[in-house]
Amino acid sequence: MTRVAVGAALLAAALFALEGGEYGTRDLLAMRHQVRDEQARIIMLRREVDSLNRVARLLRTDARTQERVAREVYGMIRPGEILYQVVRRDSSP
């Protein structure tokens, strides 16, 4: 009887050591997974920031990029050029 009680007490202590307290083993594993996900997101965001910084630098310093944006976004043309706009015919009656 005492062996059974001691065994049960040891089992209860082991279970409490794994899952008891403020953070259990499952909680710690979930946090590790969350940390991994957040680190991957940080890497992705750093790449995006680097890319945007590159575009911003090109827009400030590169004449070709400035001209491309002026033509595409603002519809600007050079002197002497003719701008043609293709408009689709409305198919409704």
Overall pTM surpassing 0.85 (yes/no): no
User: Does 61 reside within a domain?
Assistant: yes
Domain count, the chain: 1
- How is 69-83 classified by DSSP, letter by letter? HHHHHH----TT---
Contacts of 70 (CB under 8 A, 6+ apart): 76
Number of residues written out for the chain = 93
Structural domain that includes position 70: 24-76
Over the stretch 48-64, which tens digit does the pLDDT of each residue have? 999 999 999 999 999 99
User: Does 8 reside within a domain?
Assistant: no
User: Does 85 reside within a domain?
Assistant: no
| Confidence (pLDDT) at 8 | 82
pLDDT under 50: residue ranges of the chain: none
